[in-house]
Amino acid sequence: MISDAWWERNRTWATFLLIALMIGLFFTGRFAATGYVEMFRLVSDGAPTVMAIAGWLLYIAPFGLLWAVVVMAERASAKTPATLCLALLLLLAPIDLSLFPGGVNSWLGETVSGPGGGAFVTGMRNGCLAGVVASVTIPFVLFNETLRNHFGGRTLAYMLIAPIGTFVAATLVAAITLA
């Protein structure tokens, strides 16, 4: 865990190092993504179900880590797990951004071509949908003062678990079914 005194002494170069790490991870994301796809292809022989789950996890993991950091950051006893989740999030986010479909990454087609490639892309699409919808919905509900005053913070959080959990599970089931 980084102490405040250490951060004050090394703020300048640590910030540049973190930015360089992000840029480096973005540009090496191709190799990380290729290794990720090939690992699941090797383990499952390209089975569509496993490849859909692997693609879904690739995008749902950063969103889950983000919310783990947000939830654990408020508790003093959970500083170390929150720091670990933040570190994993900083490693995964640039890799996921480099995989985002677009004109820059012509290599994405090469990476997912082969057995289970279509299922992997279907899983990616559904995992991204689940993460974005949950990350847009949760803050609007949790930080709404009217709802917080009416139900209380803890009750409101528990009320979100069922619909958001069901939606996230439904996107996984859809990814497996469509694969």
What are the boundaries of each domain within the chain?
4-60+94-178
- Give the model's pLDDT for residue 45: 86
Q: What is the pLDDT of residue 84?
A: 73
pLDDT value of residue 16: 73
Which portions of the chain are predicted below pLDDT 70? 1-15, 18, 25, 71, 73-79, 82, 97-98, 100-106
Query: What does the DSSP 8-state code read for residue 102?
Result: S
Q: Tokens 């191709």 identify what position?
A: 30
- What is the structure's pLDDT at 10? 66
Q: What pLDDT score was predicted for residue 179? A: 79
Torsion of CA 125, 128, 130, 136, to 10 degrees: -140
Q: Give the pLDDT score at 102.
A: 59
Instruction: Identify the residue whose tokens are 């892309």.
Output: 121
